[in-house]
Amino acid sequence: MSDLEILWNGWRNNYVRTGSEGGSGSVFTRLISSGEPDTSTYIVHRSETCFAVLNIYPYSTGHLLVVPYREVAAIDELEPSELSDLWAVVNNGVIALRSSHQPEGFNIGINMGKPAGGSVAEHLHVHVVPRWTGDSNFMTAVAQSRTIPEALDVTYDRIKHEWPTSNLGIG
């Protein structure tokens, strides 16, 4: 018998079940066409060509994904208006997170293609990950687990409440 600890994350079950089912398009395409309310899918903002959604497998509290509605695999496949809107939504996500969670820094990036770490390689998405000094701890190093100190619905409400009402002159 091993000393393996079980960490229960029941809130992830629905995503695991629906994310692994077949269907048309990526998990993001299925998400935006699901008909579910944004509060259930954790979509915190919808713009003209993209949306911002909480990552339900977050690296840290407030981990956002900014995703174009159109399913493309690479940033150079976006139309100019989509590219401009994408970065405006990324910027507004940073503004909302600064206000809602006061992070000390951010990791912002795109993994294009499976070799680059793209988990949904067929559908471009930008990670906006708020970071704090000391937010990595022994759980990640020794238990291959992460601890997230805030429930997704609480994070959703905090970010949604702080989302800017305009693109602040971008785009």
Pick the closest to residue 123 from 59, 58, 51 (CA basis): 51
- What pLDDT band is residue 21 in, cutting at 50, 70 and 90? very low
Instruction: Choose, from 63, 123, 125, 127, the residue flagged as catalytic.
Output: 125
Domain contains 88 = yes
The CATH number given to whatever domain includes residue 48 is 3.30.428.10
* Structural domain includes residue 54: yes
CA distance 93 to 104: 15
125 catalytic? Reply is yes
What pLDDT, on the 0 to 100 scale, is given for residue 22? Answer: 52
Whether 16 is covered by a domain: the verdict is no
Considering the domain boundaries, does residue 170 fall inside one? Answer: no
Please determine, for residue 41, whether its predicted confidence score (pLDDT) is greater than 70: yes
pLDDT value at residue 139: 42
Number of domains in the chain: 1
Domain that holds residue 104: 36-162
Position 146 scores a pLDDT of 53
C-alpha span between 152 and 31 (Å, rounded): 16
The residues facing 129 across adjacent strands are 107
Tell me the pTM: 0.80
Average per-residue pLDDT in the chain?
Answer: 83
Confirm whether 99 is domain-assigned. Answer: yes
pLDDT at 20: 45
Residue 1 lies in a domain: no
The answer to whether position 63 is within a domain reads yes
Residue 85 within a domain:
yes
Measure Cα distances from 117 to 83, 121, 156 in Å.
21, 8, 26
